[in-house]
Amino acid sequence: MSKRGIVLYLHVHQPYRVRKYSVFDTSSRHDYYNESSFDTDRNNEKVFRKVADKSYRPMNVLLEKLLANHPEFKVSLSITGTFIEQAEAWAPDVIESFKRLVATGRVEIVAETYYHSLAFFYSRQEFERQVDAHRVKIRELFGVETNVFRNTELSYNDDLAKWADDYGFKGILAEGWDPILEWRSPNHVYRPVNTKNIRLLMKNYRLSDDIAFRFSNRDWSQWPLSADTFSDWANASIDQQQIIDLFMDYETFGEHQWQDTGIFNFFEAFVSKWLDNPDNTFYTVSGAIDAFEPVGEISMPYTVTWADTERDLTAWLGNSMQQETLRYIYALENDIMMTGDLELISDWRKLQTSDHVYYMCTKWFSDGDVHAYFSPYDSPYDAFLYVMNVIRDLRWRLHSYHHIGGLNG
């Protein structure tokens, strides 16, 4: 019988943020993602270099150390195409350290859309092209195949599971949300409804969020969280069960939770503590699927994500500005693809990254929960205006290809 284990999965992503792109730039300059000022978090190079120092470099060092010291330690990573392109440009050593991790054979790469987009909900064709592009990029860079899929923001529904099954993935990831699980535990492998071979892993959000969100919160009754305490919780949670799916942003380590919160030391101590128990181990996402049979069937007719208390897409699609933006973007698909212009296609795809509409989210105005949302723009409305102007400029560039019909207000 297989040991019980933690399935640690970290999501690595950086978007190409749009600069202050005005009406006066529209149809004159096409450098949407190239903020010239270095004093703002719209400057992608600045942000990337900062996060590389705070998170990517120290965390990869820690992961390498854990892999060296603990033969049972394993981790799964999803790394977006927009991250890889920026790392290649500004921190090639970070790419090299990821390669060393993958070369150990105990680090699995998870599949997703290259551009961290919501394309699944707008264009199946474009969605598949981005999944394919990501698989190719991962193959080129790391020499490995991806077998398990996660969609942007962990968004998931039955249709997606069906698609991933038909595509040939052996596993897919989703939020272990109580209204879906009801009396069931997330600590097992499941089978999505109406599928043949694919397996479903569901995030244990309580334990995941203890690290990802609550770790440095001094108002939290459990602060400061020690490795011993967390290990006790994990051992209690997994009692008589199989796996604990700890899913979170990679940037939790060093960026969301700064080094001075003790996050790195905590994590190193926890891995050691967890493995002190001979019944415990770690699994990659594929490893967990191979080790355990599904205990039941899960259906999610409506889309569930890992975001906010609502666990839905309202942070990305909740207001009319966000809906309009994505409607305009995907309306361009055929005309853009017809050009065969790789630069134009790439600029259009970078605009599909979900972060852009996230910056337009206004729902915290009612929540009063402003600080939960980070944005490099003065307001959601500014973010919207810049993206609208980019859309107009894309139309302008299309117009020069097709000579008619490209412009539209």
Partner 1 sequence: MLGWELPPHNSGGLGVACYHMSKALALKGAKIDFVVPYTAAHPGIDFMKIHSATVLSPLERYGLGAYDSSKVIEKPLSKADMNDLKDMRGVQKRYIKFVEQLVKRNKPDVIHAHDWLTMEAGIRAKELTNAPLVVHVHATEFDRSGSNSGNPLVHEIEYQGLIMADRIVAVSNITKNIIVEKYGIPADKVEVVHNAIDVSSFDDGYQYDYSTYKYLEALKNEGYTIVTTVTRFTIQKGLANFVRGAALACQKYDKLVFLLAGDGEQRDELIALASSLGISDKVFFTGFVRGKQWRDAYSVGDVFVMSSVSEPFGLTALEAAHHGNALVISKQSGVGEVLHSIFRYDFWDENMLADQLIGIATSQALKNSLQRDVMYEYDRISWHDVADKLMQIYNSTKQGVK
DSSP conformation letters of 179-199 = HHHTTS-SSSEEEETT-SS-E
Backbone angles phi, psi at 340, to 5 degrees: 65, 10
Q: What is the closest distance, in whole angstroms, from the C-beta atom of residue 155 to partner 1 in the complex?
A: 22
Residue 243's nearest CA partner among 310, 275, 289, 191 is 289
Alpha carbons 171 and 198: distance in angstroms, whole number: 5
Q: Which residue has the tokens 């270095």?
A: 38
Q: Which stretch binds partner 1 (CB under 8 A): 152-160, 201-209, 316-324, 341-349?
A: 316-324
Question: Which residue's CB is nearer to partner 1, number 44 or number 389?
Answer: 389
Told to check if 28 binds partner 1 by CB under 8 A, we report: yes
Question: Which residue's CB is nearer to partner 1, number 233 or number 396?
Answer: 396
Told to check if 324 binds partner 1 by CB under 8 A, we report: yes
Question: Which residue's CB is nearer to partner 1, number 349 or number 392?
Answer: 392
297: β partners? 191
Question: Residues with Cβ < 8 Å from 13, sequence gap 6 or more?
Answer: 78, 79, 80, 82, 83, 116, 249, 250, 251
192: β partners? 298
**35, 108, 335, 393: residue in contact with partner 1 (rule CB under 8 A):** 393
Q: Which stretch binds partner 1 (CB under 8 A): 16-24, 31-39, 171-179, 239-247?
A: 16-24
Told to check if 37 binds partner 1 by CB under 8 A, we report: no
Could you give the residue numbers annotated as active site? 153
Q: Which stretch binds partner 1 (CB under 8 A): 58-66, 148-156, 274-282, 314-322?
A: 314-322
Alpha carbons 367 and 169: distance in angstroms, whole number: 38
Alpha carbons 287 and 298: distance in angstroms, whole number: 20
Told to check if 370 binds partner 1 by CB under 8 A, we report: no
Q: Which stretch binds partner 1 (CB under 8 A): 50-58, 86-94, 174-182, 401-409?
A: 401-409
Told to check if 384 binds partner 1 by CB under 8 A, we report: yes
Question: Which residue's CB is nearer to partner 1, number 220 or number 381?
Answer: 381
How many other β-carbons are positioned within 10 Å of the β-carbon of residue 366? 7
Binding site for partner 1 (CB under 8 A): 22-24, 26-28, 319-321, 323-325, 328, 362, 379, 381, 384-385, 388, 391-393, 396, 399, 407-409
